Amino acid sequence: MRIGRAVFERMDGVIASISMIAVFVMMLLITADVGGRYIFNRPLIGSQEIVEMLMIVTVFFGLSYTQKHHGHVGVDLLPGALEGTKFAWLPVALYATTGIFVYVSLSVFAVRHAVSTYARGTSSIYLQWPIWWLGVCVSVGCIFLAVRLAVTSWDDAHGVRHDPEWEQ
């Protein structure tokens, strides 16, 4: 189990790095576009479409990383009310089953959409780039988040606490 977790953490780090690089490229593209538009009166052609594609990569490849560092907004109603009772396990079970179900379902839908888009040869409007790979990015990001939710739930159920700042 340690090897599987180590492999997952390494792969998760790779997709988180891709997400961070995508943010940096978006920043450069937007800066170049704005500079070109207002200084030289020549905007960067296709930059908006590229930025839209990079947003998908950024958001979905960053989901698991954000979950790992507890960056998502959460409401703690049920766990607080059940703490110290014999039903304290219930929030962890609900968290795991609903989250994993939702993100695995979303991943399956995204793969089906990517296959359909690939089969039809659908491309972006302006640059005419194929867009099937964006569905794959959504699917990969959702699967990594589902695995992260399972790992987090397992750790919570077994009382394991990790400080993500020290795991780097």
Is the separation of the CB atoms in 142 and 103 below 8 Å?
yes
Statement: residue 168 has pLDDT above 50: no
Q: What are the pLDDT digits (tens) for 34-84? A: 999 999 999 999 999 999 999 999 999 999 999 988 787 766 666 666 677
The residue ranking higher by pLDDT, 18 or 78, is 18
Mean pLDDT of 4-11: 92
The label of the residue with tokens 């159920």 reads 157
List C-alpha distances in Å: 89 to 11, 57, 101, 155, 161.
29, 34, 18, 12, 16
